[in-house]
Amino acid sequence: MKNYKSDNVTWWHLHRRLYNWVVHWADTRFGPLALVLLAVTEPICVPIPADVLVVGLCLGKPKRSIRYGLLCSFFSILGGTIAFSLGLAIGGENVIALFDKVHLGSKANLAIELYRRYDFWAIAISALTPVPYMLFSWLGGMAEVSIKKFILISLVFRTMRFGGEAMLFYFLGARARRLIEKYFNLATIVVIILLAALAYGMKKLGHLFTD
């Protein structure tokens, strides 16, 4: 894990330095606590995905991987729910009014309307894939979608993401990292395609994710 140190990173590459600083916690005894804090804050305001610390911790202790994956999933959903609540408190109308001052009110309104129309897909894809979960957590509150729906969908797909990564490390050890780096994007595309079948199945099971 020592290759994540930021000693040789140019000072103006702030995002990379932040990334390195986050990942270095995997080398310390405070790694699990750092994972909890990152998982909670990432959906609210932190631009570094929690995956980097999950991978670092799982790589160091593969037999604890499932614990790390579930820990990250729970606190990530908690953070997403906090961001959702903040977005709800701010309100979509206030956001549209703010963007209207820079002549982007119609675009903000369109984004909120699209979220309301395709809320399942917006939440599921952002929870599972590299699409920013932070953005869609805030936007979900602004769009005033069902918080129950947001939490349930996040629970399924956030656990699929972090739990899936953790299980790879649990069973494959260090080889899992190469698989994640090489095939993660392809795997998420396949899963997104399969979401259509899943959505159809959920409708048949009594509209579990509807109001």
Question: What's the domain range around 44?
Answer: 2-84+145-204
What is this structure's pTM? 0.78
Q: Is residue 183 part of a domain?
A: yes
Q: Are 121 and 181 in contact (CB under 8 A)?
A: no
Q: Is residue 191 part of a domain?
A: yes
Q: Is residue 114 part of a domain?
A: no
Q: Is residue 124 part of a domain?
A: no
C-alpha span between 60 and 16 (Å, rounded): 22
pLDDT by residue for the chain (211 residues), tens only, comes to 444 444 454 444 555 666 677 777 878 889 999 999 999 999 999 888 898 899 889 888 888 999 999 999 999 999 999 999 999 999 999 998 988 888 878 888 888 998 998 888 889 888 987 778 999 999 999 999 999 999 999 999 999 999 988 998 888 877 777 777 676 666 666 666 666 666 556 555 545 545 5
Domain count, the chain: 1
- CA 158: distance to chain centroid? 7
Q: Is residue 15 part of a domain?
A: yes
